[in-house]
Amino acid sequence: MTAKTYLRPTAFVDAPFGHDGKVARLVGGLLWFASVERIGPEGTELIPVEGIESRLSEAEQAVWTNLTTPRAPLKLGERVIRLDQPQIAGIVNVTPDSFSEGGLLEDPLAAIAAGHQMAAAGAALIDVGGESTRPGAQPVWEGDEIQRVEPIIRALAAAGTAVSLDTRKAAVMEAGLAAGAAMINDVSALTFDPRATEVVARAACPVVLMHHQGPPETMQDNPRYSRPVLLEIYDWLEARIEAAAAAGIARERIIVDPGFGFGKNVQHNLALMNGLALLHGLGCPIMLGASRKRTIGALSNEAPADQRLGGSIALALKGSDQGAQLLRVHDVPETVQALRVWRGLRDAALSGT
């Protein structure tokens, strides 16, 4: 049996001009790369893009196709979200114990207003959640969760906003989809509730499968990985994609999230960010949720959650530089501005100016 290898795009260039046949476009986005790092049991090897297909095994050819095939736009109800550039998902946590908002959006009117403001500021979609999954958080009864999220989803969807529902529970998914949510974001990757996969498959809506290690109550107690963290995340997500597809969820509707901060210490999170482009080999769009996370505080004198804007933007731009298509953030206007500057730099490089 041939040992498994992984391909990570690297050696990014500003523009493809003058490099015919020597660079490849990453998943139809705004980035071009000149080499891939082949990671295998024998170590790592840099392979130039030029002539690469003759050097790849059959299994690696499939991964190469994933790395170079454009991602289809997301269809969220009447809204279409292009994935050829980074897009913002604004976070609205309707919980009393959110690690970031601390209950500020528990009032429905405040949550609805926040969602409208994020959409007006440039968020492509709003991700609404009614159960905190911060480290140490306790589960919430599904009835309470539905009561929290349903009016927010209904109001935002009625205004024409694309809404994603952040939940692990099938009953909450059903209620949220009925209220107007057009995408499910499941931090358990459809492993928490046995009915969740069936609900998503029947709804034929996009779904985010997020990597995690353990439940929120204990995931940060002492996270450990027996192999490089990025490779374990890759294999775990690959298995979840296969399970979802086997259950009737179309692959083009699956988004993956590496689960920054979910069962990972600071070093795990930094390794994940440095190698994020590897995950494009899975063939799905990538959502990155690193906004205001604990790692930022650990690297900045224990700054509290509401003082982590600079670190959040740094991680958002790092994700953009590796082709992440969806950035899940709390600070929408500031991140949109950062992305506009990032896009301006890309446009200037691609116009030759």
Which positions are annotated as active-site residues? 293, 328
Residue type, 237: L
The helix (run of H) or strand (run of E) holding residue 219 is none
339/353 Cα distance (integer angstroms)? 19
Q: Which two tokens stand for residue 22?
A: 């020597």
In the block, which residue shows the tokens 């080499």?
35
* Cα 288 from chain centroid (whole Å): 3
Residue 139, Cβ density class (10 Å: 0-12 exposed, 13-18 middle, ≥19 buried):
middle
Long-range CB pairs of 198-201, under 8 A, 24+ apart, other chains included? 198/170, 198/247, 199/170, 199/173, 199/174, 200/173, 200/244, 200/249, 201/247, 201/248, 201/249
Q: Which two tokens stand for residue 124?
A: 């492509």
Closest CA to 278 of 2, 3, 26, 105: 26
Residues 6+ apart with CB under 8 A from 282: 66, 234, 237, 238, 241, 256
> Which is it for strands 74-76 and 79-81: parallel, antiparallel or unpaired?
antiparallel
- State the distance between the two ends of the chain, measured CA to CA, in whole angstroms: 50
